[in-house]
Structures are given as structure tokens and as C-alpha cells.
């Protein structure tokens, strides 16, 4: 798989995970809870994770409604900061 296709897939995966844990990434960026560079880095971190293939199944199993991402998610801190409290 090409790099750009993989980048797109993991960007989509981050977006889906954010929706699943009720984190509005656009709002988080707008209000400074996360920074643009942090979001870009999150995609690269996701690309390097060996567990990323399980994320879609995890989201399906949780009905796209969860409080936190799976324990193995390397972006759980960023997603937690992105959530409005």
C-alpha cells in the first residue's frame, strides 16, 4: 500500500475513533485543547501502531459509542484532551 493511501486510512481511523469517544477534533482545535501539529502527529503515530488493524473492529464492537479508546491506543491522551468537559 502506498504511503498516501495509508496516511488517508489512518487519518480516517483517527476521525472515526474521535467520533466514537465523542471528541470533536475541529472544536478541540478551535478552542486550543489540541494543536494542529499534535493532530498531524497522531496520524503518524497511528500509522506506526501494530494494533491499528483492530481499531475498526473495536469501534464496531462498542457501537461507535465509548468513553475512551482501547487501552492499546497510542493517541488516547490526545483524544482525552480533545473531548469537551
Longest Cα–Cα distance of the chain, Å, equals: 38
pTM of the complete model beyond 0.85: yes
pLDDT (tens digit per residue) in 2-53: 999 999 999 999 999 999 999 999 999 999 999 999 999 999 999 998 887 8
pLDDT, position 4 = 93
pLDDT, position 50 = 85
Round to whole Å and give the CA distance between 74 and 42.
Answer: 8
Q: What nine digits make up the cell of 38?
A: 499534535
Q: Does 1 have pLDDT greater than 80?
A: no
Round to whole Å and give the CA distance between 72 and 76.
Answer: 8
Q: With CA atoms as reference, report the closest residue to 10 among 55, 47, 37.
A: 47
Amino acid at each position: 500500500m502506498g504511503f498516501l493511501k495509508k496516511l488517508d486510512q489512518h487519518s480516517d481511523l483517527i476521525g472515526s475513533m474521535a467520533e466514537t469517544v465523542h471528541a470533536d477534533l475541529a472544536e478541540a482545535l478551535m478552542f486550543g485543547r489540541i494543536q494542529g501539529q499534535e493532530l498531524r502527529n497522531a496520524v503518524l503515530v497511528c500509522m506506526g501502531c501494530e494494533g491499528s488493524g483492530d481499531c475498526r473492529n473495536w469501534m464496531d464492537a462498542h457501537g461507535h459509542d465509548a468513553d475512551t479508546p482501547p487501552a492499546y491506543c497510542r493517541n488516547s491522551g490526545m483524544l482525552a484532551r480533545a473531548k469537551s468537559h
